[in-house]
Amino acid sequence: MNSVGEACTDMKREYDQCFNRWFAEKFLKGDGSGDPCTDLFKRYQQCVQKAIKEKEIPIEGLEFMGHSKEKPKNSS
């Protein structure tokens, strides 16, 4: 699947490959430490954000997940 921004598609593929390799070779085998793809993700995320602005895609009210998104706190 291509990215929302044509210029971001190669970065998306590079990140997807990195994540899938890490997920299969490390995470599923019990090694959840570290994420070697964080820098790729951040560059891709910035590219997508720029493309969204350039295409004037309305995103008000949408929540995005990512490395910088805080996990919700339990309301116990």
Domain ranges of the chain: 6-55
How far is 39 from 18, CA to CA, in rounded Å?
A: 11
Q: What 3-state DSSP class applies to 33?
A: coil
Per-residue model confidence as pLDDT tens for the chain (76 residues): 778 778 899 999 999 999 999 999 999 999 988 889 999 999 999 998 888 888 777 777 666 655 444 444 554 4
Cβ-in-10-Å burial (0-12, 13-18, 19+) of 69 comes to exposed
Alpha carbon distance 43, 12 (integer Å): 9
**pLDDT the model gives residue 61:** 65
DSSP-assigned letter for residue 63: -
The pLDDT score that the predictor gives to residue 54 is 81
